[in-house]
C-alpha cells in the first residue's frame, strides 16, 4: 500500500429480471458506429501453460502445476550506532519444475538505495549491499565481472545471477550461502528503514526470484513504484539485538523463554484467551530485565520460524508498547473447530492516542475478512508503528504503519487495508511488479467491505468510485494491464492499481449477481493459495463462477481506458405510451438497467442487453406503454457512469 497515500493526495486537487422486452436495434449501417471489444486472447506463454497442463481454462491450477521450493536459514544482527545490518544465510533451493536450470536468480532489493540503481521513485541514497562470502554447494563462488563457468555470481542492480557449477535437474536441490552487510536506510526510505529508535527491516536479505510455469525467471528490477513478486518458502531466522528491544516479525517466536520476561509471557498467554485488549508491555515495563530478559553482554537473540510464506520482515524498538487480543478466524485448520489468531499492536507512546485501539482494529479486520473471504491461517497478525517511510505496508503476518493519522476512521482504514493484504498477495501470490491491481485493487475492495462493516452506513465503495471517475474525467489513464512499473505517473499507477480495480469489482458484482461474484472471488482465492495466478486465471475463474464468457468485460475494462456514459437521448409520446431512445455516449459496453416510474406508483424494470452495444450500435429505441412519469438509468449506481446528469428523464 506504500503508494496509496500520495496518490489519494494527488487525486483530491445481477441477473436480468423477468418480463424484459427486447429493444429494437438502431438502424444498421455498413460500418458500426462505435468500436467493439475484440476477443480475449491468451498470451503465447499462458497458452503454452494450458497445453502443458499447469493451468486450465476454468481458472483453476492444472494437474501438473508446480512451484519451486526454498528453505532459508538466516542469522542477522544490527549495530545501532552505524545502522549496519550484518547477515548470514543458507538457502536450500529445490527445482520442482520440469526444466533444467544452469543458473538461478535472486533479488537483492536493498540495492535500490545504491547510487547507481535504476529508480522511478524517490529513495535516500546509501550504498550497495556488500557480499563477503558466496558459495554454491559448499564451493566458493566468486564475483564474476565477465561471463565465465560457474560457480560464481554477478550483481546487476537489484538482481543477482548465480551460475551453478553443475546443472540443476528436475527434482534436485542446491545449497546456496551468502554473508552480506548493508546500512539500513533512514526513516524516509521506501516501505521501511530506521530512525535510530524504531527499525522496520524489510527486503533485507538475498531472496530467490520467482521461477514460474508461465514466464520462467521473473527478474524485473525493483525500481520503487511497483512492489514485489515472491516465491513461497520456509524460514528459520535468528535476530540479535540489544536486550530490552521488542521485536515483531513474520513467523512464530521459537524461544520466548530465552528472550521474554515471565510477566510478558504470562500476559501473552492471557491475551490469547481474551476478546478485549491486554497490555502485554506497558511504559513501565520497558527495558532489559523487565519486558525482556537481561541477556548476555546486553544482547538477546530472537528466533522465529515460518512455513510456506513469501517473505520475512521484522520490526524492533526499545520503546514499543505491546497490546494484544484474540481474533476468532473460523476453522483454519480443517479440524471442525474454531481457531484463533493473536491480534497485536506495537507502538511508541508518542505515536498518539489513536494507536491504543489498533489491536481492536486488527482483531475486527482479521475476524471480518476471515468470514468474508476464508479463514486467516497464521498464529498472529501484528500491526507495528514504523518509520515515516512505511506509510502503510504489508508483509506476511506483519504490517508497518507510520505514526501519524488524522482520525480514527483513517487509522482503521489503513489497518484493514494492510491486513486484507494477508489474503492478496500473501496467500494468493500474484505478480505485483507487473499487475498491481491483482493485489492492491482486490485489497482496496476488501477494505471497503471491512469499512462498511465496522462503520455501518459508511460507503467506502462510493469513495473508490468517485476517485476513479474524477481521474478518468481528467484523462491520464493507462490501461490496467499496463505493467505497474510502466505507469508514467503516481496518479495513473494509483488509479490502475487501487481505485479502478476496486470499482470494477463492484461493477462485476452488480453485473453477475452477488452470489456468483462472491463464489468466484472465494474460489479463485482458495484455488490459488500459495501459488502464482496470472490475470488470465483470474478472468477464467469468474467466467466459470458466472457461467458466462465475460471476455467483452475483461477486454473493455482491463485493456482499454474507455468510459461508461449511458444517456436517455429522447422520450417521445407515441400511441398509448412512449418511445425511449437510449444512447451509449461512451465506449464502455455495459447493459442498461432502467427504472420506469408510472403515474399509478408502480416502477417497471427493463434491461437493454450488452449485446446491443457489442453489435456496434451507439443508440437503441424501446417502447414503453402506459402513463410514464420518470425514467432513470441505473438508479442504484451499480455501474460507474461518468455523467449521471443524462441518466434521468422526468415528465
State yes or no: pLDDT of 368 exceeds 50: yes
CB 168, CB 104: distance < 8 Å = yes
State yes or no: pLDDT of 21 exceeds 90: no
State yes or no: pLDDT of 105 exceeds 90: yes
Please give the radius of gyration of the chain, using alpha carbons only, rounded to the nearest integer: 27
Average pLDDT over residues 605-628: 95
Q: Exposed (0-12), middle (13-18) or buried (19+): which is 497, by Cβ within 10 Å?
A: buried
Q: What is the pLDDT of residues 48-69, one digit of tens each?
A: 999 999 999 999 999 999 999 9
Identify the CA nearest to 222 among candidates 69, 434, 389, 386. 434
* 3-class DSSP assignment, residue 25: strand
The pLDDT score that the predictor gives to residue 239 is 98
Average pLDDT over residues 247-252: 98
The pLDDT score that the predictor gives to residue 32 is 56
Q: How confident is the model at residue 36 (pLDDT cuts 50, 70, 90)?
A: confident
d(CA 501, CA 512): 16
CB 164, CB 175: distance < 8 Å = no
The pLDDT score that the predictor gives to residue 17 is 31
State the residue for C-alpha cell 481528467.
474
State yes or no: pLDDT of 573 exceeds 70: yes
The pLDDT score that the predictor gives to residue 148 is 77
The pLDDT score that the predictor gives to residue 188 is 85
Q: Is 288 left (phi over 0), alpha (psi -120 to 50) or beta?
A: beta
User: Nine-digit cell at 261?
Assistant: 520476561
Average pLDDT over residues 86-111: 98
Q: How confident is the model at residue 9 (pLDDT cuts 50, 70, 90)?
A: very low
The mean of the pLDDT values for the chain is 93
Question: Do β-strands 193-194 and 199-201 pair in parallel, antiparallel, or remain unpaired?
Answer: antiparallel
State yes or no: pLDDT of 146 exceeds 90: no
Average pLDDT over residues 535-563: 97
User: Nine-digit cell at 528?
Assistant: 490459488
Q: Exposed (0-12), middle (13-18) or buried (19+): which is 607, by Cβ within 10 Å?
A: middle
- Its pTM stands at 0.94
Phi, psi of 171 (to 5 degrees): 90, -10
Which H, E and C letters describe 321-338, residue by residue?
EEEEEEEEEECCCCCCCC
Identify the CA nearest to 467 among candidates 447, 453, 483, 486. 447
Q: How confident is the model at residue 6 (pLDDT cuts 50, 70, 90)?
A: very low
- Angstrom distances, CA of residue 150 to CA of 145, 146, 162, 206: 12, 11, 8, 19
Q: How confident is the model at residue 34 (pLDDT cuts 50, 70, 90)?
A: confident
Q: What is the pLDDT of residues 516-541, one digit of tens each?
A: 999 999 999 999 999 999 999 999 99
The pLDDT score that the predictor gives to residue 341 is 98
Higher pLDDT, 150 or 129: 129
Q: How confident is the model at residue 15 (pLDDT cuts 50, 70, 90)?
A: very low
The pLDDT score that the predictor gives to residue 35 is 87
Residues in a beta bridge with 85? 78, 182
Q: Is 637 left (phi over 0), alpha (psi -120 to 50) or beta?
A: left
Q: How confident is the model at residue 474 (pLDDT cuts 50, 70, 90)?
A: very high
Can you list the alpha helix ranges (DSSP code H) found in 373-430? 408-420
Phi, psi of 421 (to 5 degrees): -65, -15
State yes or no: pLDDT of 625 exceeds 90: yes
d(CA 236, CA 52): 35
Q: How confident is the model at residue 189 (pLDDT cuts 50, 70, 90)?
A: confident
425-445 in b/e burial notation, b at 16+ Cβ within 10 A? bbbbbbbbbbbbbbbbbbbbb
d(CA 531, CA 157): 27
First to last CA, the chain: 48
**Beta strand residue intervals within 95-172, DSSP E:** 101-107, 130-136, 139-140, 152-156, 159-168
State yes or no: pLDDT of 29 exceeds 90: no
State yes or no: pLDDT of 5 exceeds 70: no
Q: What is the pLDDT of residues 341-351, one digit of tens each?
A: 999 999 999 99
Identify the CA nearest to 534 among candidates 218, 98, 94, 226. 218
Average pLDDT over residues 368-381: 98
The H-or-E segment that residue 380 falls in is strand 380-385
d(CA 14, CA 517): 9
Q: Exposed (0-12), middle (13-18) or buried (19+): which is 165, by Cβ within 10 Å?
A: middle
- Chain center to CA of 355: 24
Higher pLDDT, 424 or 149: 424
Task: Kindly report the length of the chain.
Answer: 651
State yes or no: pLDDT of 27 exceeds 50: no
CB 568, CB 646: distance < 8 Å = yes
Question: How many beta carbons lie within 10 A of that of residue 106, not counting itself?
Answer: 22
Whether omega before 97 lies within 30 degrees of 0, making that bond cis, reads no
The pLDDT score that the predictor gives to residue 242 is 97
User: Nine-digit cell at 565?
Assistant: 456514459
Average pLDDT over residues 618-632: 96
The H-or-E segment that residue 363 falls in is helix 358-372
The pLDDT score that the predictor gives to residue 1 is 56
State the residue for C-alpha cell 546486553.
298
Amino acid at each position: 500500500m506504500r503508494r496509496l497515500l500520495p496518490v489519494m493526495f494527488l487525486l483530491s486537487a445481477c441477473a436480468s429480471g423477468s418480463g424484459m422486452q427486447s429493444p429494437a436495434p438502431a438502424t444498421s449501417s455498413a460500418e458500426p458506429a462505435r468500436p467493439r471489444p475484440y476477443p480475449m486472447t491468451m498470451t503465447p506463454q499462458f497458452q503454452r501453460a494450458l497445453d502443458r497442463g499447469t493451468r486450465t481454462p476454468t481458472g483453476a491450477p492444472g494437474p501438473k502445476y508446480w512451484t519451486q521450493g526454498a528453505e532459508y536459514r538466516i542469522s542477522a544482527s544490527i549495530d545501532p550506532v552505524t545502522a549496519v545490518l550484518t547477515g548470514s544465510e543458507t538457502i536450500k533451493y529445490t527445482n520442482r519444475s520440469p526444466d533444467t536450470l544452469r543458473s538461478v536468480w535472486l533479488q537483492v532489493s536493498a540495492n535500490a538505495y545504491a547510487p547507481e540503481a535504476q529508480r522511478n521513485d524517490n529513495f535516500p541514497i546509501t550504498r550497495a549491499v556488500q557480499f563477503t562470502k558466496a558459495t554454491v554447494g559448499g564451493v566458493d563462488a566468486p564475483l564474476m565481472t565477465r561471463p565465465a563457468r560457474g560457480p560464481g555470481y554477478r550483481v546487476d542492480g537489484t538482481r543477482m545471477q548465480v551460475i551453478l557449477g553443475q546443472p540443476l535437474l528436475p527434482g534436485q536441490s542446491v545449497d546456496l550461502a551468502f554473508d552480506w552487510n548493508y546500512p539500513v536506510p533512514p526513516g524516509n526510505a521506501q516501505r521501511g528503514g530506521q530512525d535510530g529508535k524504531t527499525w522496520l527491516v524489510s527486503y533485507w536479505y538475498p531472496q530467490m526470484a520467482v521461477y514460474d510455469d508461465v514466464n520462467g525467471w521473473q527478474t524485473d528490477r525493483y525500481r520503487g513504484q511497483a512492489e514485489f513478486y515472491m516465491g513461497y518458502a520456509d524460514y528459520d531466522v535468528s535476530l540479535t539485538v540489544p536486550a530490552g528491544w521488542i521485536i515483531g516479525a513474520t513467523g512464530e517466536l521459537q524461544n520466548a523463554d530465552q528472550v521474554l520476561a515471565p510477566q510478558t509471557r504470562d500476559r501473552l498467554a492471557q491475551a490469547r484467551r481474551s476478546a478485549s485488549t491486554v497490555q502485554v508491555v506497558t511504559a513501565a515495563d520497558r527495558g532489559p530485565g523487565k519486558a525482556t530478559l537481561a541477556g548476555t553482554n546486553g544482547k538477546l537473540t530472537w528466533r522465529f520460524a515460518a512455513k510456506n510464506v513469501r517473505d520475512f520482515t521484522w520490526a524492533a524498538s526499545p520503546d514499543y508498547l505491546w497490546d494484544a487480543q484474540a481474533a476468532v478466524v473460523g476453522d483454519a485448520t480443517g479440524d471442525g473447530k474454531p481457531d484463533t489468531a493473536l491480534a497485536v499492536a506495537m507502538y511508541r507512546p508518542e505515536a498518539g492516542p489513536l494507536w491504543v485501539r489498533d489491536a481492536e482494529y486488527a482483531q475486527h479486520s482479521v475476524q471480518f475478512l476471515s468470514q468474508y473471504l476464508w479463514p486467516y491461517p497464521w498464529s498472529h497478525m501484528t500491526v507495528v508503528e514504523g518509520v515515516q517511510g512505511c506509510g502503510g505496508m504489508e508483509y506476511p503476518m506483519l504490517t508497518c504503519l507510520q505514526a501519524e493519522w488524522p482520525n480514527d476512521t483513517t487509522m482503521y482504514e489503513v489497518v484493514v487495508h494492510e491486513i486484507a493484504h494477508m489474503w492478496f498477495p500473501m496467500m494468493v501470490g500474484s505478480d505485483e511488479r507487473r499487475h498491481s491491481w491483482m493485489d492492491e485493487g482486490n485489497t482496496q475492495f476488501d477494505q471497503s467491505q471491512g469499512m462498511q462493516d465496522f462503520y455501518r452506513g459508511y460507503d467506502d465503495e462510493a469513495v473508490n468510485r468517485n476517485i476513479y471517475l474524477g481521474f478518468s474525467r481528467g484523462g491520464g489513464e493507462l490501461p490496467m494491464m499496463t505493467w505497474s512499473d510502466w505507469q508514467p505517473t503516481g496518479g495513473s499507477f494509483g488509479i490502475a492499481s487501487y481505485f479502478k480495480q476496486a470499482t470494477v469489482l463492484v461493477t462485476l458484482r452488480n453485473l453477475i449477481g452477488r452470489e456468483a461474484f462472491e463464489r468466484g472471488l472465494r474460489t479463485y482465492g482458495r484455488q490459488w493459495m500459495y501459488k502464482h495466478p496470472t490475470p488470465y486465471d483470474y478472468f477464467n475463474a469468474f467466467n466459470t463462477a458466472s457461467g458466462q464468457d465475460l471476455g467483452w468485460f475483461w477486454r473493455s475494462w482491463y485493456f482499454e481506458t474507455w468510459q461508461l456514459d449511458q444517456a436517455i437521448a429522447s422520450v417521445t409520446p407515441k400511441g398509448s405510451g412512449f418511445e425511449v431512445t437510449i444512447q451509449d455516449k461512451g465506449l464502455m459496453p455495459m447493459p442498461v438497467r432502467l427504472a420506469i416510474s408510472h403515474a399509478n406508483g408502480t416502477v417497471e424494470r427493463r434491461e437493454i442487453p450488452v449485446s446491443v452495444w457489442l453489435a456496434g450500435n451507439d443508440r437503441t429505441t424501446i417502447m414503453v406503454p402506459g402513463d410514464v412519469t420518470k425514467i432513470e438509468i441505473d438508479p442504484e449506481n451499480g455501474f460507474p457512469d461518468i455523467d449521471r446528469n443524462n441518466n434521468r428523464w422526468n415528465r
